[in-house]
Structure 1
Amino acid sequence: MKGQSDEILIIGGESCQQSVAKFFHQDNFFTKIIQWSNMPNTNIARRSPSAVNYNQQILLMGGAEGLSTYYNSVEMLDLNDENPKWDSNLPSMGEKRYAFASALLDGLVYCAGGWNDTGRLSSCEIYNPKERKWSSIRNMNIKRSYHALVSAQGLLYALGGWNDEGNTTNTAEFYDPRNGKWEYIPPMKTCRGGLTAVVLNNEIYAIGGKYLSSVEKCNLDTKAWIDVPSMNEERYGGSACVVDGFIWVFGGQGAKTVEFYDPATNKWQVSTNMDRERRFHCVLSI
């Protein structure tokens, strides 16, 4: 961890829905600094939303209030501003989405699956930030909620979640924007609902899920899944991001800890505690 210095934004969570915090970590030969600071609250409380960082503009999308009010609205925090605040004057998604997943690919924001008052979703849509316009793309092969979505090598990958039968699934599929098709890749070794996922060193890491501390990764060339050492804690509804070659994981149901994975040592290490439990929140490197 020599010389690492970066910031991570943590947004919402089912027990602290409008709260936004910034995490700063620095570790070198002489000192270790961990700092938490508060950021402006979101304009509305959102259970299980999704977020992306587009050129230091944080787009926070969807989510729900309670168990029956679902959102398609979007708000943005522009970190390029000296005094940023959340702006709700953005186009809404075409569909209300809760417990869905999002990712950036080639300057476009992709949103996939989730849940609303019609049930679990397979539908997907994209947002063009330059044109401020949403449009639909082809549905995933199956309906998914509480799943993960990542982008790598010009493709989009959807992993796990709950399917339309209400079961956790180990299926994985990718979307190729060149032909507009979703195709399956080999399934994960473990069914994972409420997982989080990241891409590091040409590999997709599928992390945790309900009652799971286990981790596995898929090589993007061979499409083979192999086990990774388990985290120190089960993480259902945890969130993760990559900073300077390390995977950072925050929270989950019943978990206040923050831990990181070092691929050089192939080990997880607990870094610190959050001030409160957060689950089904959003975590972004900034």
Structure 2
Amino acid sequence: MKRILILFTILIAFFSTETQIFADQNVWTSETNLTKKIDRVNLVTVNGKIYSIGGHDQNKFYDTIDVYDPEIKTWTQKGKLPTVRGTVSAAVYDGKIYITGGEPINKKLDIYDTVTNEWKQGKAFPNDVAGYASQFVNGKLLVIGGFTKYTDSSDMVYEYDPSTNMWTEKARLSNPRRYTTSALVNGKVYVIGGINESKGILSSIEEYDPQTNTWTTKSPMSTPRMGLAAAVLNNEIYVIGGNTATDTISGPGTVEVEKYNPKTDTWSKVTSMPTARGFLSAVSLNNSIYVAGGSNKSIYFSVFEKYTLGDNGMSPSQPEDPGTSQPDNPVGDRVILVVTMTTGLEKEFDLSMKEVNDFIAWYDAKDAGRGASFFAIDKHNNNKGPFSSRKDYMLYDRILTFEVSEYSK
């Protein structure tokens, strides 16, 4: 009996220590500040670098594009926008950055080639727009909500096809919203928060399925916010900062961070960021989230902060956190990966945990605008015939969604 009690005590101490270690690794740290104090800046990633686009302070909007190298922690001016811009939601496709509208309010579509450092113009957006959300899905750009003047919010959604240089109207939002944010997870777009004139600041979230062209209302955030930012880690959406009062110019910012799990439609609290602010921007890169700029009661910030998951995001599962044992974190010996293509075809693979984690890492990287456009999956036991190996090459823009089921041999 004595031996059992001693062993039980040791186990408690071990797991308590492990839990504390993992908790402590989920931390915010300061990176090299932006080159100026601004809000309404926008971040995107291309080939492992972070691009800071435009921005605004109390006196003017900016036309600068700065690039951050996370390896050497330095900012370098890359080029300039065709015109000064702020309050845009840029999106990346095939190494190019697409920027629609923005403040001062306009309808231009500017496309930046990060390799040649050159700009070209696409077909103008159907209306003036700023304060919107945007995502590339299946090779097409969605521009969602926003405003055309400072006293309205839009429920309009348009899709741009780079191959035809044409805009097409899509299904409208359930709630008009401006100063909103969005994220892309498993082929679906999530639009979060914002403000409209009839309901004030919003806590609601809507999910868009591009295959059915439909919007579905999901569980809301705990705190209504506008001018907020979002980034994705391990197929979960981190919603960061924002303003909590209806004064859109000088309202108070918040340090609040919440995490949304699309599979379980649940929210959980995350460690608050160090600096309270709204009208900020965020992006995920290398298992971390980078957050830039913002303002709080007319005070502008150049701060650039990073949130990092402990143990590469593989912290021990907790009963109150339904997200830690979802398909993005396989826990069994083997995994069944089912990939649903945009054509509706399902492909099933019996893989190791490492192979599935490699696939997810590739998908997340490509979702962030970097890496190869395809991923090779070994067919293993499905290797029919006299071949040394057979591989199925998955194209990123052909994947609608995927499901992971763990099992032990």
TM-score, normalization: structure 2? Answer: 0.59
Separation in 2 of the partners of 1:93 and 1:175?
A: 20
Confirm whether residue 25 of structure 1 aligns to residue 70 of structure 2.
yes
Match of 1:36 in 2: 75
Match of 1:101 in 2: 133
CA gap of 1:262–1:186, structure 2 versus 1, over 3 A, is same
Q: Which letter does structure 1 place at the counterpart of 2:50?
A: I
More helix by share: 2
Cα offset, 1:170, TM superposition: 0.4
Match of 2:155 in 1: 122
Cα offset, 1:265, TM superposition: 6.4
Separation in 2 of the partners of 1:164 and 1:192?
A: 14
Cα offset, 1:285, TM superposition: 6.4
Tell me, which stretches of 5 or more residues in structure 1 are unaligned? 27-32, 268-283
Q: Which letter does structure 1 place at the counterpart of 2:88?
A: P
Match of 2:42 in 1: none
Equivalent residues of 1:154, 1:176 under 8 A apart: yes
Match of 2:234 in 1: 201
Equivalent residues of 2:68, 2:75 under 8 A apart: yes
Separation in 2 of the partners of 1:168 and 1:19?
A: 30
Q: Residue by residue, what CA displacement relative to the aligned partner does 1:41-78 show, whole Å, maximum 9, x if unpaired?
A: 1111123122111111111110122xxxx211111110
Cα offset, 1:7, TM superposition: 1.3
Separation in 1 of the partners of 2:312 and 2:187?
A: 27
CA gap of 1:154–1:285, structure 2 versus 1, over 3 A, is closer
**Secondary structure of residue in 2 paired with 1:212:** coil
Match of 2:303 in 1: 257
Bigger mean CA offset, 209-218 vs 109-118: 109-118
Equivalent residues of 1:120, 1:144 under 8 A apart: yes
Separation in 2 of the partners of 1:202 and 1:76?
A: 28
Confirm whether residue 163 of structure 1 aligns to residue 209 of structure 2.
no
Separation in 2 of the partners of 1:266 and 1:145?
A: 34
Confirm whether residue 182 of structure 1 aligns to residue 215 of structure 2.
yes
Equivalent residues of 2:160, 2:167 under 8 A apart: yes
Equivalent residues of 1:58, 1:76 under 8 A apart: yes
Match of 2:401 in 1: none
Count of residues paired in the alignment: 254
What aligned pairs does 1:68-79 form with structure 2 within 5 A after superposition? 70-79=105-114
Confirm whether residue 245 of structure 1 aligns to residue 277 of structure 2.
no
Cα offset, 1:232, TM superposition: 0.6
> In the alignment, which of 40, 46, 49 is matched to residue 85 of structure 2?
46
Cα offset, 1:166, TM superposition: 6.0
Tell me, which stretches of 5 or more residues in structure 2 are unaligned? 1-24, 26-46, 244-252, 314-367, 371-409
CA gap of 1:176–1:285, structure 2 versus 1, over 3 A, is closer
RMSD: 2.0
Cα offset, 1:92, TM superposition: 0.8
Q: Residue by residue, what CA displacement relative to the aligned partner does 1:172-215 show, whole Å, maximum 9, x if unpaired?
A: 01111222111100001111110000111021111110111110
Cα offset, 1:106, TM superposition: 1.3
Q: Which letter does structure 1 place at the counterpart of 2:135?
A: A
**Secondary structure of residue in 2 paired with 1:120:** coil
Equivalent residues of 1:142, 1:164 under 8 A apart: no
**Secondary structure of residue in 2 paired with 1:216:** strand
Equivalent residues of 1:99, 1:145 under 8 A apart: yes
More strand by share: 1
CA gap of 1:285–1:259, structure 2 versus 1, over 3 A, is farther
Cα offset, 1:225, TM superposition: 0.3
Q: Which letter does structure 1 place at the counterpart of 2:292?
A: F
- Look at both structures and tell me which one has the larger radius of gyration over its CA atoms: 2
Cα offset, 1:246, TM superposition: 0.7
Confirm whether residue 64 of structure 1 aligns to residue 103 of structure 2.
yes
Equivalent residues of 2:95, 2:369 under 8 A apart: no
